[in-house]
Amino acid sequence: MVSTPAPADPARLHGADSEVGRLQTVMLHRPGLELKRLTPRNNDRLLFDGVPWVSRAQDEHDAFAAALRERDVEVLYLTELLTETFAEAEARHEAITKALESLHLGDTLRGYLTGLLHDASPEELTTYLTAGIRNDEVGGGFGLVTSLLDSHDFLIDPLPNLLFTRDSSVWVRDHVAVTSLAMPARSRETHLTELIYTRHPRFVGTPQIHGWHHEHVEGGDVLLLAPGVIAVGVGERTTPAGAERLARQVFHAGLAHTVLAVPIAQERATMHLDTVCTMVDVDKVVMYPNVAHQLQAWAVTLVGSADTNDDTDLELHVADAEPFLVAAAKAMQIDTLHQIDTGLDPVTAEREQWDDGNNTLALAPRVAVAYERNDETNDRLEESGIEVVKIAGSELGSGRGGPRCMSCPISRAPLGS
Ligand SMILES: NC(=[NH2+])NCCC[C@H](N)C(=O)O
């Protein structure tokens, strides 16, 4: 049964102006059938470092959601929002057209799949679009393409990285930025988040910035350091041009006064800024010690007025690079942005960074969710006065993401005005 979407509630305010204001509403994705698509042949392409035990991953994820609910966080599930969005015929049509645009289908198969998806219920459509469809699963559309493709080839790719809801959208104050994902295995995710934010009754009318048609920016690279100050990692995923576009868009919409572009190594282990640095208090970050002293930042600010027709008309000022913590403190107008010194030896630090020890999700200032396995990082956080809410992640972690990656904060109590 499709639950009838709640009517739009104009009084319900969404948005976040920091990483640490009390978390009120979050979007998660409970891992499902799409993870069962991972095999040793496709896991690299689909950006997983192994083949997870799906039912255990679901248990771990349910415990994560329960830990959030226990602290009064409203948990929304991406697939439920999507199914509710599909109550509307136009939304279904848009999603189906986009999913079948791929040039590897051919007209015969595309025609068949169009019919199949249009006949599907909203729940089934959600499953098709998230878990994908394999060549051996279709009972029609036979022709040259189905005959020549391997039976295991996907006609619609599964989206196992939906688990990492952080990356496909980011709230900046009351606006939502639909991002533009860099890896082909993930690009379709943002079609779904865009649809939710555009058409789900809960979000209709939410002002949007960026979008999948823009230069690459991934949510894991975006840190709301303080109201008006945004750090953007630039590396394997977010491009320099993506950081510039985001700066233009947030300045144009009056959402920030400074964007710090922070180069990070273009490697799998540090694919996003939040794999090496997350905030645990209004003036404290936990940072991977092996890079902490090397991170630099270029502060981007607006010259003149934001009152132009288009963000492309804005003039930007780019300051000389400075150490990240120095540039951040200046922009945040605080004396010091403290780095919690995990003081780990480089090997332990490298192991715990790989297992997302630095990827914490703040529930409020000084309260953060972390994977339990990173004993030493967690001990240091606790010694520094941070309450660590520990969750299991042996299976969830095989996609290389921790509590921050697995959550998209939709509402946090504001820190600024
Ligand atoms: N915000 C994050 N660090 N997300 C982690 C994403 C992991 C995912 N497997 C990818 O490679 O894209």
Q: Is residue 346 part of a domain?
A: yes
In a domain, 57, yes or no: no
Residue 8 confidence (pLDDT): 43
Nearest CA residue ID for atom 4, ligand 1:
405
Same-domain check for residues 165 and 153: no
Average pLDDT over residues 295-299: 97
Tell me the average pLDDT across 272-285: 96
Give Cβ neighbours of residue 414 (< 8 Å, ≥ 6 apart): 15, 17, 18, 21, 227
Domain range for 179: 161-412
Q: State if residue 73 touches ligand 1 by the CB under 6 angstroms criterion.
A: no
For residue 354, what pLDDT is reported? 80
Does residue 32 belong to any structural domain of this protein? no
Per the domain annotation, does 150 fall within a domain? yes
| Same domain (yes/no): 135, 240 | no
Domain count, the chain: 2
The answer to the question of residue 74 being in a domain is no
Do 209 and 143 reside in the same domain of the chain?
no
How many CB atoms are located within 10 Å of the residue 34 CB? 23
Q: Is the pLDDT reported for residue 6 higher than 60?
A: no
Q: What is the CATH number of the domain that holds 336?
A: 3.75.10.10
pLDDT tens digits for 44-96?
999 999 899 999 999 999 999 999 999 999 999 999 999 999 999 999 999 99
Average pLDDT (192-217) is 97
Here the ipTM equals 0.98
pLDDT the model gives residue 193: 98
Whether 313 has a pLDDT exceeding 70, the answer reads yes
Per-residue pLDDT at 417 exceeds 80: no
Do 102 and 182 belong to one domain?
no
As annotated, the active-site residues are 405
Is the shortest distance between the CB of 161 and ligand 1 below 6 Å? yes
Whether the per-residue pLDDT at 223 is higher than 60: the answer is yes
Q: What is the pLDDT of residues 136-183, one digit of tens each?
A: 999 888 899 999 999 999 999 999 999 999 999 999 999 999 999 999
137 with 209, same domain?
no
What does the chain come to in residues? 417
What is the rounded average pLDDT of the residues 94-115?
Answer: 95
Environment class of 240 (CB within 10 Å of its CB; exposed 0-12, middle 13-18, buried 19+): middle
User: For a pLDDT cut of 90, what percent of the chain falls above it?
Assistant: 83
Minimal-distance CA residue to ligand 1 atom 11: 47
Looking at per-residue confidence, does 343 or 239 come out higher?
239
Same domain, 354 and 274: yes
pLDDT at 231 over 70: yes
pLDDT of residue 10: 43
Domain-located, residue 30 = no
Atom of ligand 1 nearest to the CA of 181: 12
Q: Same domain, yes or no, for 189 and 304?
A: yes
* Same domain, yes or no: 129 and 208: no
Atom of ligand 1 nearest to the CA of 167: 1
Token pair for 24: 């009120």
Q: pTM score, two decimals?
A: 0.94
pLDDT, tens only, 355-398: 888 899 999 999 999 999 999 999 999 999 999 999 999 999 88
Last residue of a domain, one of 111, 133, 157: 157
The answer to whether the CB of 411 is under 6 A from ligand 1 is: no
More confidently predicted of 215 and 1: 215
Residue 325 is assigned to a structural domain of this protein = yes
- Judgement on whether residues 136 and 173 belong to the same structural domain of the protein: no
Of the listed ranges 6-10, 208-212, 216-220, 264-268, the one predicted with least confidence: 6-10
- Domain boundary residue, one of 141, 157, 173: 157
Please check whether residues 198 and 268 belong to one and the same domain.
Answer: yes
Measured from the CA of 400, which atom of ligand 1 is nearest?
A: 7
Residue 217: which of 236, 195, 198, 201 has the closest Cα? 236
Final residue of a domain: which of 157, 177, 195?
Answer: 157
Cα gap 324→352, rounded to integer Å: 22
The CATH number assigned to the domain holding 107 equals 1.10.3930.10
Residues 178 and 151 in one domain: no
| Whether the predicted pLDDT of 9 surpasses 70 | no
The pLDDT value recorded for residue 167 is 97
In short, whether 405's Cβ falls inside 6 Å of ligand 1 is yes
Query: Is 222 in the same domain as 306?
Result: yes
Structural domain contains residue 296:
yes
